[in-house]
Chain A
Amino acid sequence: MDRMLYIAMNGAKQNMLAQTANTNNLANVSTTGFRADFAGFRSMPVFGLGHPTRAYAMAERPGIDLNPGGLNTTGNPLDIAVDGDGYIAVQAKDGSEAFTRAGNLRLTSTGLLINASGVPVMGDAGPISLPPANAVEIAKDGTVSIIPQGQPATDIQVVGRIKLVNPPASEIYKGNDGLLRLKSGEIPVANANVNLVSGALEMSNVNIAEALVNMINSAREFELHVKLMKTADEHAEREMQFVRLG
Chain B
Amino acid sequence: MAQALWVGKTGLEAQQNRLSVISNNLANASTTGFKRDRILFEDLLYQNVKQAGGQTSQDTELPSGLSLGTGVQTVATQKLHQQGNVLQTQNPYDIAIQGFGFFQVMHPNGSISYSRNGEFQINGQGQIVTSSGYPVQPAITVPPNAMSVSIGKDGTVSITLPGQPELNQIGQIQLATFQNPSGLTPVGENLFLESAASGAPQIGVPGTNGLGTLHQGSLEGSNVNVVEELVSMIETQRAYEMNSKAIATMDQMLQYLNNNT
Residues of A participating in the B interface, judged by any CB pair closer than 8 Å: 207, 209-210, 213, 216-217, 220-221, 223-224, 227
CB distance B258 to A216 under 8 Å? no
User: B223-261 vs A: 1/0 string, CB under 8 Å?
Assistant: 000000000000000000000000100010011001100
B window 1-59: CB within 8 A of A: 1-2, 5-6, 8-9, 12-13, 16
CB distance B1 to A221 under 8 Å? yes
| CB neighbours of A220 from chain B (8 A) | 1-2, 251, 254-255, 258
| CB neighbours of B13 from chain A (8 A) | 207, 209-210
| CB neighbours of B258 from chain A (8 A) | 220, 223-224, 227
Q: Considering the chains assembled together, what is the distance between the CA atoms of A53 and B175 in angstroms?
A: 73
Residues of B participating in the A interface, judged by any CB pair closer than 8 Å: 1-2, 5-6, 8-9, 12-13, 16, 247, 251, 254-255, 258-259
CB distance A213 to B8 under 8 Å? yes
Starting from the known contacts A213-B6, A217-B1, A220-B258, 20 additional A-B residue pairs (CB-CB under 8 Å) come to A207-B13, A209-B9, A209-B13, A209-B16, A210-B9, A210-B13, A213-B8, A213-B247, A216-B5, A216-B247, A216-B251, A217-B2, A217-B5, A220-B2, A220-B254, A221-B1, A223-B254, A223-B258, A224-B258, A227-B258
| Chain A nearest CB, measured from B170 CB (Å) | 31
What is the chain A residue whose CB lies nearest that of B12?
Answer: A209
Q: Considering the chains assembled together, what is the distance between the CA atoms of A44 and B251 in angstroms?
A: 28
What is the chain A residue whose CB lies nearest that of B5?
Answer: A213
CB distance A223 to B12 under 8 Å? no
| Chain A nearest CB, measured from B111 CB (Å) | 14
| CB neighbours of A216 from chain B (8 A) | 5, 247, 251
Interface of B is mostly: helix
| Chain B nearest CB, measured from A194 CB (Å) | 14
Q: List 21 A-B contacts (CB under 8 A).
A: A207-B13, A209-B13, A209-B16, A210-B9, A210-B13, A213-B8, A213-B12, A213-B247, A216-B5, A216-B247, A216-B251, A217-B5, A220-B1, A220-B251, A220-B254, A220-B255, A223-B255, A223-B258, A223-B259, A224-B258, A227-B258
| CB neighbours of A221 from chain B (8 A) | 1
Q: Considering the chains assembled together, what is the distance between the CA atoms of A157 and B258 in angstroms?
A: 68
| Chain B nearest CB, measured from A200 CB (Å) | 11
| CB neighbours of B2 from chain A (8 A) | 217, 220
Q: Considering the chains assembled together, what is the distance between the CA atoms of A223 and B252 in angstroms?
A: 13
What is the chain B residue whose CB lies nearest that of A222?
Answer: B258
The listed residue with most B CB atoms (<10 A of its CB), out of A209, A217, A223, A224, is A209
What is the chain B residue whose CB lies nearest that of A221?
Answer: B1
Q: Considering the chains assembled together, what is the distance between the CA atoms of A213 and B247 in angstroms?
A: 8
What is the chain A residue whose CB lies nearest that of B254?
Answer: A220
| Chain B nearest CB, measured from A141 CB (Å) | 11
| CB neighbours of A223 from chain B (8 A) | 254-255, 258-259
Q: Considering the chains assembled together, what is the distance between the CA atoms of A221 and B1 in angstroms?
A: 8
Q: Considering the chains assembled together, what is the distance between the CA atoms of A209 and B244 in angstroms?
A: 9
Q: Considering the chains assembled together, what is the distance between the CA atoms of A227 and B261 in angstroms?
A: 9
| Chain A nearest CB, measured from B214 CB (Å) | 32
Q: Considering the chains assembled together, what is the distance between the CA atoms of A210 and B11 in angstroms?
A: 11
What is the chain A residue whose CB lies nearest that of B108?
Answer: A140
Q: Considering the chains assembled together, what is the distance between the CA atoms of A244 and B8 in angstroms?
A: 51
| CB neighbours of B6 from chain A (8 A) | 213
Q: Considering the chains assembled together, what is the distance between the CA atoms of A48 and B122 in angstroms?
A: 84
| Chain A nearest CB, measured from B74 CB (Å) | 13
What is the chain A residue whose CB lies nearest that of B259?
Answer: A223
| CB neighbours of B247 from chain A (8 A) | 213, 216
| Chain A nearest CB, measured from B133 CB (Å) | 14
| Chain A nearest CB, measured from B141 CB (Å) | 24
| CB neighbours of A217 from chain B (8 A) | 1-2, 5
Q: Considering the chains assembled together, what is the distance between the CA atoms of A39 and B247 in angstroms?
A: 21
What is the chain A residue whose CB lies nearest that of B240?
Answer: A209
| CB neighbours of A213 from chain B (8 A) | 5-6, 8-9, 12, 247
| CB neighbours of A227 from chain B (8 A) | 258
| Chain A nearest CB, measured from B239 CB (Å) | 13
| CB neighbours of B254 from chain A (8 A) | 220, 223
| CB neighbours of B251 from chain A (8 A) | 216, 220
What is the chain B residue whose CB lies nearest that of A224?
Answer: B258
| CB neighbours of A210 from chain B (8 A) | 9, 13
What is the chain A residue whose CB lies nearest that of B15?
Answer: A209
The listed residue with most A CB atoms (<10 A of its CB), out of B5, B9, B251, B255, is B9
What is the chain B residue whose CB lies nearest that of A220?
Answer: B254
What is the chain A residue whose CB lies nearest that of B261?
Answer: A227
| Chain A nearest CB, measured from B242 CB (Å) | 14
| Chain A nearest CB, measured from B72 CB (Å) | 12
Closest 6 CB pairs of A and B: A209-B12, A223-B258, A220-B254, A213-B9, A216-B251, A209-B9
